[in-house]
């Protein structure tokens, strides 16, 4: 009976990771919010809503992530001049998962955090002596 219970537990644990990875890989992830703190001034506008500051057609506002089942990661945007981000000669970027952390091979110290149908990334930008925290939230679509 103990062996049967152990086998059942192992099967359940293995199936959870597979289902979680299927959830990650079965859909694209579109940016839904981008918040910068402290608020930043761009042009004549000051806001902590980075998407609003960049505009609805910007690369930032149309950013999308994709995690393939074969372990490759792609990202892109269809805003004006966004193709300048893409280097066709670059090597494919891989991704791996450790619980709720999604790590890219190109940035092993950076992780997306997966919670339900939301991916969150946090980055830090220092300019003119001020450090800004940029939190991007992506939703499965």
pLDDT at 83: 66
Per-domain residue ranges for the chain? 2-140
pLDDT at 68: 95
For the domain made up of 2-140, give the CATH fold.
Answer: Lipocalin (2.40.128)
Q: How many residues comprise the chain?
A: 141
Tens-level pLDDT at each residue, the chain (141 residues): 444 343 343 444 444 444 556 689 989 999 999 999 999 999 999 999 999 999 988 889 999 999 999 999 988 887 657 766 666 667 889 999 999 999 999 999 999 999 999 999 999 999 999 999 999 999 998
pLDDT at 19: 56
pLDDT at 80: 57
Residue 113, CB half-sphere, CA atoms under 13 Å: how many? Answer: 8
State the Cα–Cα distance between residues 69 and 24, nearest whole angstrom. Answer: 9
pLDDT at 17: 47
Secondary structure in 3-state letters for 15-41: HHHHHHHHHHHCCCEEEEEEEEEEEEE
Strand partners, 13: none
Q: Is the pTM of this model over 0.85?
A: no
Residue pointed to by tokens 């945007």: 77
pLDDT at 72: 94
């Amino acid at each position: 009976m103990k062996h049967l219970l152990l086998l059942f537990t192992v099967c359940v644990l293995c199936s959870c990771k597979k289902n979680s990875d299927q959830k990650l890989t079965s859909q694209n992830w579109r940016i839904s919010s981008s918040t910068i703190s402290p608020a930043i001034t761009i042009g004549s506008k000051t806001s902590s809503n980075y998407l609003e500051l960049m505009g609805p057609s910007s690369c930032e506002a149309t950013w999308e992530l994709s995690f393939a089942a074969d372990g490759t990661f792609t990202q892109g945007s269809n805003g004006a001049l966004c193709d300048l981000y893409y280097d066709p000669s670059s090597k494919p970027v891989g991704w791996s998962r450790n619980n709720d952390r999604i790590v890219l091979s190109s940035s092993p110290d950076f992780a997306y955090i997966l919670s339900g149908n939301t991916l969150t990334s946090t980055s830090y930008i220092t300019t003119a002596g001020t450090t800004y925290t940029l939190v991007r939230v992506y939703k499965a679509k």
